Chains A and B, each alone.
Chain A
Amino acid sequence: MIWPAVIVGSLGAYLLKLSGYLIPERVLDNPRLQRLTAILPIALLAALVGVQTFSTGSAVTVDARVAGLAAAIVALALRAPFLVVILVAAATAAVLRGAGLAP
């Protein structure tokens, strides 16, 4: 089911963009919808951070990813670019695992 998900997701993401250019302005010109669309990415991205850091399957877990996330936050606070943030997080988790300090 990987490729169907990729194709349907890609098509849907494109149609969302296209709709903003083609459908009449007043349809999207709703303050409630605009507020919701503005905050939805914050809620979803935060939930993804939480779940992808603290879970394995259906279990809540704490492992080297937590240290990786903490390192990423430090890098972001120091205004590191996107790629550096990701490399710092991965390296932190890899080093802790390599040293046997975290699962």
Chain B
Amino acid sequence: MFTGASQFALVGILGTGGGALVAVVTALLLGARNSLYALSLRSFVTTPGRPSIVRTMGQAQLTIDESTAMAIRYPQGSPQARHAFWATGIAIYVLWNLGTLIGALGAAALDDPRTLGLDAAVPAGFIALLWPRLRDRSTIALAVVSAAVAIALVPVLRPGLPVLSAVLVALVAERLMARRRA
């Protein structure tokens, strides 16, 4: 799985006793944005002529926040956009997975992750991924409400499920945004 927020969510939910299905659903909902990244990247990184399926498959795996952000700074279809996409994607792919491997091997050597504060590292990772997305008052409000609703549901629902309440909050938020625009 090469999409950081989804990877964190899957591990975080499995690690805190959430079910496998809930973990997968949450990870995939977080990964859905990559579809739209791919859609907008088409005109930036695709070479003229018939697209090669192997190339498209590699392109798909490297489609993440960072590679998209780097590519769309350059003109559509330009060599710079393609280079930015592939260089960013491959560099992060190698380093990220190396980091995952080191983490997996290192964690096995630990007695109690709580002593090192590693349970605090998990929410810190999520807020670091969230931070750059909090661009205005409405996104901050959405984040605060989503967190509050999920925490409120912790005693009521099975572990893992409270996080999915965020989907309902997002659906309501989308309607409010649409109405304000109309």
Listed in ascending order, the chain A residues whose CB lies under 8 Å from chain B are: 1-2, 4-6, 8-10, 12-14, 16-22, 25, 28-29, 32, 34-55, 57-60, 64-65, 67-69, 71-73, 76, 82, 85-95, 97-98
Contact = CB atoms under 8 A, between A and B. Distances in A.
Given A42-B130, A64-B117, A16 B28 contact: yes
A37 B60 contact: no
Interface string B128-148: 111101100001001110111
Contacts of B149: 47
B4 to A, nearest CB: 9
Interface of B: 1-3, 5-6, 8-10, 12, 14, 16-17, 19-21, 23-24, 26-39, 41-42, 56-57, 59-61, 63, 114-131, 133-134, 139, 142-144, 146-151, 154-155, 158-159, 162-167, 169-171, 173-174, 177-178
A95 B16 CA distance: 22
Would you call the interface of chain A mostly helix, strand, loop, or mixed?
helix
A64 B114 CA distance: 9
Nearest to A19: B35
Given A16-B34, A47-B165, A68 B123 contact: yes
Nearest to B64: A17
Nearest to A98: B115
B38 A44 contact: no
Contacts of A18: 38, 56-57, 60
A97 B118 CA distance: 12
21 contacts: A1-B19, A13-B1, A13-B6, A16-B35, A20-B35, A21-B38, A36-B170, A39-B142, A39-B173, A40-B33, A42-B139, A44-B9, A44-B146, A46-B143, A48-B163, A51-B162, A57-B16, A57-B159, A65-B119, A85-B128, A97-B117
Closest 10 A/B residue pairs (Cβ)? A20-B38, A68-B120, A50-B147, A93-B117, A89-B124, A93-B120, A94-B117, A46-B143, A47-B150, A90-B117
Contact of A82 (B3, B20, B128): B128
A10 to B, nearest CB: 4
Contacts of A19: 35, 38
Contacts of A5: 10, 14, 20-21, 23-24
